[in-house]
Structure 1
């Protein structure tokens, strides 16, 4: 990702992406000194509303001395992968407000004034809120109801409430039923490839086995693509 262009202004979508950042997840910091530019990896700690962001001070045993690139009023660039939500990497520039050593070695920075984002997926996905019923592909037994959060011709990401009695398993072959219209149901076949969770939901990534032409037809039927 290129160095950020200077622009100001966060959209609601930008704020949503920033607020999707999760504590304890890895974050890359780009530091500049008089002689070099260095990228180091550390941990995102959290944020205080829109007042400041907090990062763990990088391990100098791993990255070497960093004091000439991390100090009050110094600007740094942060990069964070939103893999749990959108499959994007976001980058933003912030200014260091404070560096603490006790009780923890932390970096407090300003809140971003803008962000840059880049999709990590090989193909674009449409953001959705489509209800679907999940069935086992072998037995046709109902597994649970779910909500598709994003979808492309190759796969989708869906969420299931943690209260569901039955949950899909990794590498399980499934069928996903969609109500394409009031009197027509369509389904896609796929395989559960990965899973993640938060306090409320379980999230599953599905790789479609249905041919791309049939997936595109379904997406047209449910008005996610045109043509």
Structure 2
């Protein structure tokens, strides 16, 4: 997503999106030099009120020298995925205020004046707090209990407390999700882990359903997440 226009002014909802970033979160940084524009990955470190954002200096052993692209007063474009709740990508421009080399290599930037957002999903998802149990689809062994925080007929996002997850979930791993409705009937869906991230307390996994849409739709109706 390109930054096309700059509309100055942050709403309370915009501020909430900025403040949703957590230390350690992966961010995409678009930098420019006189000859090229490139995008690199780094980590968000922290925020100082509405004064500045702090990020790690990108690893130059991985992304190449960045001295001509990151320096005081240089403009940068930052992007990150607000995936846990809304499934949108957030983008905004900032200026470099300070590059610190000791005791850590950090970049301090200005606070954004405006943001842009783009929905990553082609469909809406119901926001919810449904309990589910994850099991290994191959051997049927229980992995952990989890909370579904959003769901549609094509997939869902789950939240797992770190202390209850002894084995890390893996990308492309096939798992079963077991649900129990009000009539105490159990329904099992099959899904593939497509992405994951974590904060200090929880793991969050994006799951694509492999189960027939009609079965998922009926489950959502039983859970009163859809009508009809």
- Give TM-score, length-normalised by structure 1: 0.73
Given candidates 175, 178, 184, the residue that maps to 1:176 is 178
Give, in angstroms, the shift of residue 52 of structure 1.
0.8
Task: Name the residue aligned to 2:10.
Answer: 10
Q: Is 2:13 the partner of 1:19? A: no
Superposed, which structure 2 residues align to 1:95-106 within 5 Å? 95-106=95-106
- Structure 2: give runs of 5+ residues left out of the alignment: none
User: In the alignment, is the contact (CA less than 8 A) between 2:161 and 2:201 conserved in 1?
Assistant: yes
Q: Kindly report the root-mean-square deviation, in angstroms, between the aligned alpha carbons of the 2 structures.
A: 3.6
Give the whole-Å Cα distance in 1 for the aligned partners of 2:185 and 2:13: 32
Q: How does the TM-score come out when normalised to structure 2?
A: 0.73
CA distance in 1, matches of 2:174, 2:40: 35
3-state SS of paired residue (1:190): strand
Secondary structure (helix, strand or coil) at the match of 2:149 reads strand
Quickly say closer, same or farther: Cα 1:11–1:141, change in 2 above 3 A.
farther
- Give the SS at the match of 1:14: helix
Mapped partners of 1:141, 1:3: distance in 2: 47
Post-superposition CA distance 1:66-124 (Å, at most 9, x none): 43x43433332112234566543321111222223333333211122322222334x43
Paired residues, number: 222
Partner in structure 2 of residue 73 of structure 1: 73
The equivalent of 2:112 in structure 1 is 112
SS at match of 2:21: coil
- The 8 Å contact of residues 188 and 215 in structure 1, kept in 2 or not, is answered as no
